[in-house]
Amino acid sequence: MRAFYHDNVIADQTALHDSGRAVSEEDLKASGVLYWNIPVEDDGKWEDEIDAVARDRQYKNRDVKESSKATLGESYEAMAKMVYKEHMHEDEEIRFVLSGSGFFDVREHPTDSWVRIHVSKGDLLVVPAGIYHRFSLDSSDYMKVMRLFKDEPKWLAHYRGAETDENPHRADYLKNVQRVTALAA
């Protein structure tokens, strides 16, 4: 995993867009974004580590999804646009990368700057409920992820707007980030 501020150039969403300004894992944590690296090896030990994280964080369900032009076919372009449009969820978004690579962009609070997180095989990322974010494959055009869920598998996006800004999950997220920031000061 490597995190950095997005260069804000509006162009190919699969390009790196690295501004040259790094973001630390601690800074991500202050925004509620959690990260683990669990090497995916043939010995299966990674599965035990994923199971341990799932037990600790009460993730009850999981599935595996592949994203690429080859696997999504005609729905690829629409899907790529949909997940790249700025949105939030009322649940955590938990992704463990089994192969391939891509980007999660999260909005930093209170600056509203985009932080780009480049993830690849072995990276486990937890994007908190209520944070504005988006996703894109990188130029490799392939990612296989295990999605983990606290309850039944679902993916319901609330696209950014006045109504979503008032969503209780968004309000809770902002309170938590402000509390963490105040404690760190």
Q: What is the pLDDT of residues 57-105, one digit of tens each?
A: 999 999 999 999 999 999 999 999 999 999 999 999 999 999 999 999 9
Based on the structure, what is the number of domains in the chain?
1
CATH classification of the domain holding 131: 2.60.120.10
Query: For the whole model, what pTM was predicted?
Result: 0.95
What number of CA atoms fall less than 13 Å from residue 77's CA on the CB side?
A: 1
- Distance between CA atoms of 82 and 105, rounded to whole angstroms? 14
Known binding-site positions:
87, 89, 93, 133
Known binding-site positions for Fe(2+):
87, 89, 93, 133
User: What tens digit of pLDDT does each residue of 123-163 get?
Assistant: 999 999 999 999 999 999 999 999 999 988 878 999 999 99
Quick one: which H or E segment has residue 171? helix 168-184
Known binding-site positions for Ni(2+):
87, 89, 93, 133
Give the length of the chain. 185
| Among candidate residues 114, 74, 124, 55, the one with its CA nearest the CA of residue 94 | 124
Residue 61 structural domain: 2-184
